[in-house]
Amino acid sequence: MATRKIDREQIIEQALKTLATSNSFADFSLRKVAADLHIDVSTLYWHFKNKQEILQAMAEAVITQVTIPATDLEWTTQLKQLFSNVFDIYEQYPLSATLMIETIPSALVRLQLIERAIAIMTDVGIDEQTANVAVTSIDFLLTGVMIDLTTEAHFRQKITAEKNQNLLTHVKKIHELAQSHHLTHMQTSIKMRNQFSAKQQFAMGLDLIIEGLKQHLPTKN
Amino acid sequence: MATRKIDREQIIEQALKTLATSNSFADFSLRKVAADLHIDVSTLYWHFKNKQEILQAMAEAVITQVTIPATDLEWTTQLKQLFSNVFDIYEQYPLSATLMIETIPSALVRLQLIERAIAIMTDVGIDEQTANVAVTSIDFLLTGVMIDLTTEAHFRQKITAEKNQNLLTHVKKIHELAQSHHLTHMQTSIKMRNQFSAKQQFAMGLDLIIEGLKQHLPTKN
DNA sequence: ACCTGAACACCGTTCAAGT
DNA sequence: ACCTGAACACCGTTCAAGT
């Protein structure tokens, strides 16, 4: 009784929720998604070909949320705002950065985002090649910072919640080695990590790349 | 009969070989490592606490191979050479970039590598904070390019070897969407990807970051 | 001290069978 | 058209038992 019909949209919606409550990407499973939906796992295979297709749909659902900044702003502002928007969305959907790595960027919105980012740069005279390299670099930086953040949270969770003492050993080891071997830069590096948020760290990296990009602006008249 | 003793070193050696012949990081399993060693999986648990510890040891074995360039070279040369060395080692050990993401960088050599990279920059007067951000950015860029490379190879393999037709669909979709939606930058982006090797793409990204770093050099006298 | 075998609780995927 | 249940081939991890 009652319409038991479940559509792709509902599945993806729940999948993202299930992913968000997972401790790691490896923890995320279709069986858990199905359980949360109160349906059998095999049902998912009527709506989707396989797990990969579900991940693709999830990635697309996330990236669709990103808004593109107005084109009348200064190019550096546009670039910063665009990636800031991406960052915020990734942060809103925990583990979605991993999702992007695990999927092929075939969603139109995702391609349009890259297109826009490159256009922002070429519009001010930066050559196509440099703009391309910049987007790749910024994208990897963003994804890297994001994944680092979730991985750290995952490890932290594993250390506190579970009996997993040996992970704590590794974290402690970093501090000890940094001290005993007088790795002074590593020590300040650790301090920096605690001092600045992930978003701030990303912003600083982006600034560095932008400074490099400025060297590629055409010389005035 | 015959000494059946197997030590940690042999396990890690084989584990890296098994990882190298895996199509993806997910494909890599302890059961396969054990099978390749002609021992039972459970034996691994006598030598190591769990899979995580084996991954840590594998990551350490790989990173140890990286050589640090001479300190009398120009700072940009040192930086390029250092990361070029890392790139080559990662390339030599397929999927090792993923390994670095999955593990905590608690190995001394790995910390020393970061320490050296930061020192190269601070030695010429770049502030600690910028140097830190730069290392993080370069590291993520390198790992990103590397993972992209192996992921692509993985997808390519899946498409040709297996019946996996739907992955091919996604790849084709990118080209089609780029054309039908007039994503001109995306089209040249695809061309660039085929034109330059992964190492070249990384080198270009590194150059961009270095150009940004140069803006942080102290003004002469 | 070192290794095995069986067992446990998990996966993704398939497929005949139900409505 | 949509969903289930059972089965298959995989995982990592534990542990009593062997040498």
Q: What whole-number distance in Å separates Cα of residue B157 and Cα of residue A45?
A: 23
Q: Does residue A184 form part of some domain?
A: yes
Higher pLDDT pick, A10 / A157 = A10
CATH number for the domain including B184?
A: 1.10.357.10
**Mean pLDDT score, B104-122:** 95
Contacts of A87 in chain B (CB under 8 A): none
Q: How many domains does chain B have?
A: 2
Taking the CA of residue A1 and the nearest CA in chain B, the distance in Å comes to 35
Give the tens place of pLDDT for each residue, A192-207: 888 999 999 999 999 9
Where does chain A show beta strands of DSSP type E?
none
Asked whether the predicted pLDDT for residue A25 surpasses 50, the reply is yes
Taking the CA of residue B58 and the nearest CA in chain A, the distance in Å comes to 15
Interface test with B, best of A50, A99, A102, A111 (most B CBs within 10 A): A111
Residues B18 and B94 in one domain: no
pLDDT at B84: 98
Q: What are the structure tokens assigned to A67, written together?
A: 């808004």
Instruction: Identify nearest nucleotide to residue B48 by CA to C1′ distance.
Output: D13
Q: Does residue A60 form part of some domain?
A: no
DSSP track, B113-148: HHHHHHHHHHTTT--HHHHHHHHHHHHHHHHHHHHH
What pLDDT band is residue A29 in, cutting at 50, 70 and 90?
A: very high
Instruction: Identify nearest nucleotide to residue B40 by CA to C1′ distance.
Output: C4
Q: What rounded mean pLDDT belongs to chain A?
A: 92
Q: Answer yes or no: are the C-beta atoms of B111 and A183 closer than 8 Å.
A: yes
**Mean pLDDT score, B67-82:** 97
Residues A132 and A32 in one domain: no
pLDDT at B165: 65
Taking the CA of residue B183 and the nearest CA in chain A, the distance in Å comes to 6
Residues B31 and B76 in one domain: no
Instruction: Identify nearest nucleotide to residue A163 by CA to C1′ distance.
Output: D13
Q: What's the domain range around B195?
A: 69-214
CB contact under 8 A, A147 and B122: no
Residues A32 and A88 in one domain: no
Strand (E) or helix (H) holding A12 = helix A8-20
pLDDT at B93: 97
Q: How far is the CA of A121 from the C1' of C15 (A)?
A: 53
- Which nucleotides of strand D come closer than 7 angstroms to any CB of the protein? 2-6, 10-16
- Amino acid letter, residue A55: L
Residues B88 and B22 in one domain: no
Higher pLDDT pick, B160 / B129 = B129
Q: Does residue B2 form part of some domain?
A: no
Contacts of A186 in chain B (CB under 8 A): 111, 114-115, 118
Residues B152 and B114 in one domain: yes
Nearest Cα residue to A115 out of A99, A91, A96, A139:
A139
Q: Does residue A58 form part of some domain?
A: no
Give the tens place of pLDDT for each residue, B85-96: 999 999 999 999
Q: Does residue A147 form part of some domain?
A: yes
Q: Is the dihedral of CA A51, A52, A55, A56 positive or negative?
A: negative
Give the tens place of pLDDT for each residue, B36-55: 999 999 999 999 999 999 99
Q: Does residue A14 form part of some domain?
A: yes
Strand (E) or helix (H) holding B55 = helix B51-63
pLDDT at A168: 73
- What is the percentage of chain B residues whose pLDDT exceeds 70? 93
Residue B67: is it exposed, middle or buried by C-beta count within 10 angstroms (0-12/13-18/19+)?
exposed
Residues B41 and B75 in one domain: no
Give the tens place of pLDDT for each residue, A131-171: 999 999 999 999 999 998 888 777 777 777 665 666 677 77
Residues A74 and A140 in one domain: yes
Residues B90 and B186 in one domain: yes
What pLDDT band is residue A1 in, cutting at 50, 70 and 90?
A: very low
Helices B108-122 & A184-195 angle (0-180, nearest 10): 90
Angle, alpha carbons B58-B20-B151 (nearest 5°): 105
Q: Does residue B3 form part of some domain?
A: no
CB-contacts to strand C (7 A) = A 28-32, 41-42, 45, 50-52; B 4-6, 39-43, 46-47
Residues A86 and A149 in one domain: yes
Q: Does residue B220 form part of some domain?
A: no
In eight-state DSSP terms, residue B116 is H
Cα distance from N-terminal residue to C-terminal residue, chain A: 75
Q: What whole-number distance in Å separates Cα of residue A38 and Cα of residue A32?
A: 10
- Among protein residues, the one whose C-alpha sits closest to the C1' atom of D3 is A43
**Mean pLDDT score, B142-155:** 86
Residue B71: is it exposed, middle or buried by C-beta count within 10 angstroms (0-12/13-18/19+)?
exposed
Interface test with A, best of B130, B136, B158, B159 (most A CBs within 10 A): B136
Residue B15: is it exposed, middle or buried by C-beta count within 10 angstroms (0-12/13-18/19+)?
buried
Q: Answer yes or no: are the C-beta atoms of A159 and A168 closer than 8 Å.
A: yes
For A23, the 3-state DSSP assignment is coil
